[in-house]
Structure 1
Amino acid sequence: MKFFSFAAMLGLLALSAPAAAQSGITGNWLTEDNRAVIAIGRCGETLCGRITRILVPTEAGQRDVNNPDPNLRNRRIEGSRVLTGFRFDRGQYRHGQVYDPENGRSYNARLRLNRDGTLRVTGCVLGGIICQSQNWTRR
C-alpha cells in the first residue's frame, strides 16, 4: 500500500513538472546589456516575450527602423514581441524565435533557466551551427 502511494505521488509530480517548468521563466527579465526589460508570458500554447521598457534610448527614436517589413519600420520597439513560439522540451524552451530590433533579424532560439536563476537566451543561424547566448536576470 505504501508503495502505491509513493508511486502515485511520483506520477503526480511527473505530470505537474512541465507546468511548473513552463511557469519558471515567466515574468520580467533584464537583458544582459541592461538596455531593456522583456516580459515573458503565455501566448496561447507557447511562451513569448515583449519589450516592456527600454532603458537606454536608441538612435532610431525607439522605432523598429531595421524591420525587414517596411510596414513595421515605424512601429515603436517598446511593446513589440521579440520572443515567439517557445515550447518546453527536454529541460529547456525550444522551437522559438528571437527577434533583434537592432538589426531586424530573427533567429532560431532556445531558453534555459540557469541554476543561478538567470535565463540563458541562445539564438542560432545555419541550423544551429553558429549560436550566440546572453544571460538575462530576473527583474
Structure 2
Amino acid sequence: MTLARITIALTLLFTASTSTATAAGNKSQGVWKNPSGSVHVRAEPCGKFMCGVVVWANDKAIADAKKGSNKPLVGSSLFRDFKVVKDGVWRGRVFVPDIGKTFSGTITVLDENRLEGKGCLLGGIGCRSQIWTRISA
C-alpha cells in the first residue's frame, strides 16, 4: 500500500474495543470507512486487544493489496494488538497489504462518528493522518 493507505489502515486500527476499553474506546466499535470510501473495516475484540478486519473493499483497493500480499484483502486483519494508552487513544500494529509490511500507529476517537489514525513509516518520517467515518447500521 501507499503511505496514504498506511494512514487509512492506522485509522482503522482504532475501531475495535476490548474488555479493558474505556467509554471512549466503546465509541470505536462498529464499521468505519476511509476518506475515499474504498475500504470498510469492522472493529472487533481480539482477545484482550482490539482489531480491525476488512469487511468490504472496492476493486482498486483489492488490486493494490495484491501487489504486496497474496492474501485476500477482504477478511484480513489489518489492525492488530491495539490497546488503550489513554482515554480515547489506542496504539497497535497495522498491516499494509500492498507492501507486505507492518507498522505501529495510533488512533484517536474524535467523536462517535469520527476517528483519526496516524502513522509514520520510519523514525517519525513520512507521517500521515486521516479521518475515518462511521458507517451507519
Range into which the TM-score falls when normalised by the shorter chain: 0.7 to 0.9
- Over the aligned positions, Cα root-mean-square deviation in angstroms equals 2.3
Q: 80-89 or 125-134: which moved more? A: 125-134
Q: CA deviation at 1:52?
A: 0.3
Structure possessing the higher radius of gyration over alpha carbons? 1
Matches within 5 A, 1:128-139: 128-139=124-135
Higher RCO by CA contacts (8 Å cutoff, separation 6 or greater): 2
Identity of aligned residues (%): 25
Matches within 5 A, 1:23-38: 23-38=26-41
Structure 1 alignment gaps of length 5 or more = 1-16, 68-72
Q: CA deviation at 1:63?
A: 6.0
Amino acid paired to 1:89: V
Aligned length: 115
Structure 2 alignment gaps of length 5 or more = 1-19
Q: Supply the distance in 2 between the matched residues of 1:103 and 1:33 (Cα, whole angstroms).
A: 20
Which portions of structure 1, spanning 4 or more consecutive aligned residues, are displaced by more than 6 angstroms? none
Tell me which residue corresponds to 2:15: none
Amino acid paired to 1:39: R
Q: Supply the distance in 2 between the matched residues of 1:116 and 1:38 (Cα, whole angstroms).
A: 16
- Confirm or deny that 1:21 pairs with 2:17: no
TM-score (normalised: structure 2) = 0.72
Tell me which residue corresponds to 1:66: 68
TM-score (normalised: structure 1) = 0.71
2:99 match: secondary structure: coil
Tell me which residue corresponds to 1:102: 98
